[in-house]
Amino acid sequence: MDDSRFMRGLIADILESGGVEVVGEAADGREALSVVADVDPDVVTMDVEMPEMNGIEAVERLMAENPTPTLMLSAYTAEGAEETFAALDAGAVDFFAKPGGEVSMGVSRLEEQLVDTVRSVAGADVSRAGRRRRTEAATAATSGAAPSSPDASSAGGSTDATVEPNTTLIIGSSTGGPDAVERVVSALPGDADIRGVVVQHMPEAFTGRFATRLDDACELTVREAKDGMRIGRGELAVAKGGHHLEITSARDGRLRLSVIDEERGEGVRPSVNVTMRSAAEVVDDPLIGVILTGMGGDGSDGVQAISRAGARVLAQDEESCVVYGMPKRAAATGAVDSMLPLDDIAAGITGERA
């Protein structure tokens, strides 16, 4: 769904050539709702900026009237990031940043990535995305009741240990991750002796806004990572999009970070593997790794590295994931100590889960 006929055609051609059948098109949000109702697609791609009814309002209506996994197509800008996060709040599963702006051939350079992302979003559970789930959690917190969740199953080990002094936390996520990360970090107490890193697969123009979003939502201080930055107790750094992030030293309860603008053969930047491997080499204090919802296998090598270094590893369970790719691949390594519902992960980190 895009107001530009050129972009609709380009995206349709890319998807069709990648084996994804395109069953309908629309020029604005209002028309998109009608088309979805008529053809009942497996997945919707939705431009953020459209006339008549923009993508944000269209997603809100779509989730209320005919819930369908939706991928937002966003301009690769800071302004685009603001609007895209609003669409994720409304219930969109994930987003794809269009290089070169709203109307550009740049998207054709990322054909394989676009097709893979559409396929992953098509399999997403829309009940796990967006505002509805966060509203339930907020309502439960206000009433003093814990959010409902299924019983967790252990994949070996337990989560009954409390957070020790100078604990380093590394969280990795991809598709469905912005909402999942926010729910985890907003549930962490501000006085916990934790410092750490969030590695979310996200373009460079978006990670600064994501850090601000997390900072507003939680008791910890959250900033986008900068080269040479040092973080201590109660601080989290969000890996900069388009770059890898390494922990280069861990002394006196503080971590020093290095932002790396080079390819490391991981297929994604930032990569959870890169950050976790660096932590395994330099962090002697207690270390906790968490793998949340996401497409692909990033993090599976990293959890093995930190597990060998003595870390405790948690992963999100299948039932609460938007896309059960990264946690599944991590669990298959045997390095994950516990598989937990999303709303139990913060308690698993702090050791408060019974």
Catalytic residue among 3, 47, 89, 298: 298
Please tell me the distance from the alpha carbon of residue 154 to that of residue 290, in angstroms, as a whole number: 14
pLDDT, tens digit (0-9, with 9 covering 90-100), for 38-70: 999 999 999 888 877 888 899 999 999 999 999
CA angle 47, 53, 55 (to 5 degrees): 30
Which DSSP category does 294 fall into? B
pLDDT, tens digit (0-9, with 9 covering 90-100), for 84-112: 899 999 999 999 887 654 444 445 557 88
What pLDDT score does 156 carry?
43
Q: Which of 240, 216, 214 is nearest to 228 (CA)?
A: 240
Q: Is 312 helix (H, G, I), strand (E, B) or coil?
A: strand
Residue 177 to residues 12, 183, 199, 316, 330, Cα–Cα distance (Å)? 26, 10, 10, 11, 16
Catalytic residue among 94, 186, 201, 300: 201
pLDDT, tens digit (0-9, with 9 covering 90-100), for 212-243: 999 999 999 999 999 999 999 999 999 999 99
Q: Are 80 and 86 in contact (CB under 8 A)?
A: no
Beta strands (DSSP E) in 207-346 are 221-224, 230-231, 235-238, 244-251, 254-260, 287-291, 312-316, 338-340
**Number of Cβ atoms within 10 Å of the Cβ of 247:** 25
Instruction: Identify the H or E element spanning 2.
Output: none
What pLDDT score does 141 carry?
43
Clarify whether 201 is annotated catalytic.
Answer: yes
What pLDDT score does 139 carry?
45
- What tokens were used for 89? 């709040």
Positions of the chain with pLDDT lower than 50, given as ranges: 101-106, 132-160, 354
What pLDDT score does 52 carry?
79
Is 151 exposed, middle or buried, given 0-12, 13-18 or 19+ CB atoms closer than 10 A? Answer: exposed
What pLDDT score does 142 carry?
42
Please tell me the distance from the alpha carbon of residue 98 to that of residue 300, in angstroms, as a whole number: 28
Helices (DSSP H) in 25-71: which residue ranges?
29-39, 55-65
Beta strands (DSSP E) in the chain are 44-47, 70-75, 94-98, 153-154, 167-173, 194-200, 221-224, 230-231, 235-238, 244-251, 254-260, 287-291, 312-316, 338-340
Is 149 exposed, middle or buried, given 0-12, 13-18 or 19+ CB atoms closer than 10 A? Answer: middle
Answer left, alpha or beta for residue 342, where phi above 0 means left and psi between -120 and 50 means alpha. Answer: alpha
What pLDDT score does 80 carry?
74
Catalytic residue among 173, 174, 186, 278: 174
Which DSSP category does 319 fall into? G
